[in-house]
């Protein structure tokens, strides 16, 4: 039986702190097992990606327990900050780094250089790595996230049920979205923000105050993190996903929305255009705008909310794009192929 050891951050299944990286890790572990791999998971405690000495020791101990020649898949949240742990094991083990988001620093370069292979979760990330780091091109693979097909969201006539999914932090741009919404307050809409409220308490408090000051408190809802049936319901009740991130290597919430036929209004950053993709006729199933630009985002929202023909066009494109999404089984097969090649 093929065996792989997987190093992941402790708390991978914490429902209060969901992340795309954690979802990816969990889904591929299950997928590899379904493909016949024996998966040995090592959850490493620590405040990743800012580990203290005990966390570094725990990661080193986990690698030390892997038999010589073992294949090890290491989450990039750990690997990128542990070159002093990765490098001594590079000759003994076959290390594969699953990189969700590059850090752009010398320590990450050293850690990735110790790996037998690097798995990027988008073509954009692969290009970024090869452009910025001196890595062998044939050792950097792309394995995109999958998406679970779901029932098509019915949608409302007005299109005013907006959904934003992502941790409430500056990087996800909820303040930019709130400012954009304030300039279209003459139109009918409600916006639900789904995501952790615990990562930046001062920012969340300031955001709530801004919503109150702009007289939007009764039109926006900070729902906190949702999972399972609650998250499904949030998508099912939405008309469109709005994503104002400053940076995304892919944007799994984009494909999660498209899997339900929901159009997407998002910032044109990183791998978001790749995740958004195109409908069968070549059209975009959403609208891309410049990041950190409330005016551009407001213009896109005003057109979505005010133009029934535009809504119909984007809904048709989203439902077409839905049929081309790959699933998590495909993701697991592609990752399995990389691990098999590394194992020799």
Give pLDDT, residue 12.
Answer: 85
- Cα gap 296→307, rounded to integer Å: 16
Task: Write down the pLDDT at residue 45.
Answer: 94
Kind plus residue range of the DSSP H or E element containing 55: helix 53-64
> What distance in Å separates the CA atoms of residue 190 and residue 206, rounded to the nearest whole number?
20
Helix (H, G, I), strand (E, B) or coil at 164: strand
pLDDT (0 to 100) of residue 15: 73
pLDDT of amino acid 168: 97
> Domain 161-322, CATH 3.40.640.10 — does that match?
no
- Give first-to-last CA distance, the chain, whole Å: 14
| Collapsed DSSP state (helix, strand, coil) of residue 27 | helix
Q: Strand, coil or helix: what is 296?
A: helix
pLDDT of amino acid 44: 96
Domain boundaries, the chain: 3-146+326-343, 161-322
Residue 137: alpha-carbon gap to chain centroid:
24
Instruction: State how beta strands 161-165 and 71-75 pair.
Output: unpaired
The tens place of each residue's pLDDT in the chain, 344 residues long, gives 899 999 999 988 887 777 889 999 999 999 999 999 999 999 999 999 999 999 999 999 999 999 999 999 999 999 999 999 999 999 999 999 999 999 999 999 999 999 999 999 999 999 999 999 999 999 999 999 999 999 999 999 999 999 999 999 999 999 999 999 999 999 999 999 999 999 999 999 999 999 999 999 999 999 999 999 999 999 999 999 999 999 999 999 999 999 999 999 999 999 999 999 999 999 999 999 999 999 999 999 999 999 999 999 999 999 999 999 999 999 999 999 999 999 98
Give the largest Cα separation in the chain, rounded.
65
Query: 289 and 265 in contact (C-beta within 8 Å)?
Result: yes
pTM for the model: 0.94
Q: What single string gives the DSSP state of each residue in 195-250?
A: S-SSS-HHHHHHHHHHHHHTT-TTTEEEEE---HHHHHHHHHT-SEEEE--S--SS
Q: Which CATH architecture has domain 3-146+326-343?
A: 3-Layer(aba) Sandwich (3.40)
**CB-based contacts of 307: which residues, under 8 Å, 6+ apart?**
none
Q: Do domains 3-146+326-343 and 161-322 have the same CATH topology?
A: yes
């Amino acid at each position: 039986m093929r065996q792989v050891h997987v190093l992941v951050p402790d708390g991978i299944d914490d429902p209060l702190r969901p992340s795309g990286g954690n979802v990816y890790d969990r889904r591929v572990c299950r997928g590899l097992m379904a493909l016949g791999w024996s998966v040995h998971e090592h959850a490493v405690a620590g405040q990743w990606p800012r580990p203290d000495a005990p966390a570094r020791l725990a990661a080193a101990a986990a690698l030390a327990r892997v038999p010589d020649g073992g294949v090890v898949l290491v989450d990039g949240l750990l690997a990128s900050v542990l070159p002093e742990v990765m490098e001594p094991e590079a000759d003994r083990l076959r290390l594969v780094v699953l990189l969700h988001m590059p850090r752009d620093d010398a320590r990450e370069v050293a850690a990735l250089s110790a790996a037998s292979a690097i798995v990027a979760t988008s073509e954009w990330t692969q290009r970024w790595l090869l452009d910025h780091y001196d890595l062998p091109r044939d050792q950097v693979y792309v394995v995109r996230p999958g998406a679970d097909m779901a029932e098509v969201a019915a949608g409302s006539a007005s299109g005013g049920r907006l959904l934003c999914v992502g941790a409430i932090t500056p990087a996800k741009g909820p303040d930019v979205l709130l400012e954009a919404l304030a300039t279209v307050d003459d139109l009918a809409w409600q916006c639900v923000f789904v995501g952790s409220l615990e990562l930046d308490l001062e920012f969340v408090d300031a955001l709530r105050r801004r919503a109150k000051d702009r007289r939007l408190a009764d039109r926006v809802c900070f729902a906190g993190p949702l999972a399972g049936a609650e998250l499904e319901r949030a998508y099912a009740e939405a008309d469109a996903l709005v994503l104002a991130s400053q940076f995304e290597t892919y944007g799994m919430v984009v494909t999660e929305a498209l899997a339900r036929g929901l159009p997407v209004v998002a910032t044109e950053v990183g791998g978001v255009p790749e995740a958004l993709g195109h409908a069968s006729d070549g059209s975009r199933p959403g609208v891309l705008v410049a990041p950190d630009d409330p005016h551009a985002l407001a213009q896109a929202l005003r057109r979505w909310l005010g133009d029934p023909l535009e809504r119909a066009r984007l809904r048709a494109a989203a439902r077409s794009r839905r049929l081309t999404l790959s699933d998590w089984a495909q993701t697991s097969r592609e990752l399995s192929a990389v691990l098999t090649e590394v194992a020799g």
